[in-house]
Amino acid sequence: MMLKQLTLATLLAVAPLAQAEVVDDPAANEPEITITHDAGNTYYEYTINGQLKEIKVVPKTGKPYYLVPAEGSQKFIRMDESQLLIPKWVIFRW
């Protein structure tokens, strides 16, 4: 009995302590949304990690559209659909 306790105590003393490490924070990948209003339009600016990813423009009349930054320039490209891949779960639908 004493030998088992001594063996267990030795193993616990020698074994490295386990540490919990956060590899990927899911909240960091969610966009931060800033909403502004101007001249009858509503703008939704989506930023992830401090970078502007897209702007959703909802005009007072007409169909909403998206402005996406063009690669390598300060200009925006107009899109009809969002380019962000954000997981969305449907829990209930009736």
DSSP β-bridge partners for residue 34? 45
Q: How far is CA 11 from CA 17, 19, 93, in A?
A: 11, 17, 54
pLDDT at 72: 79
Q: 29-84 adopts what CATH topology? A: S-adenosyl-L-methionine-dependent methyltransferases (2.20.130)
Query: What's the pTM?
Result: 0.58
Average pLDDT over residues 21-34: 66
Residue spans of the domains in the chain: they are 29-84
Give residue 74's pLDDT band: very low, low, confident or very high (50, 70, 90): confident
pLDDT at 94: 78
Give residue 8's pLDDT band: very low, low, confident or very high (50, 70, 90): low
**Residue of higher predicted confidence among 52 and 14:** 52
Mean pLDDT, all residues of the chain: 77
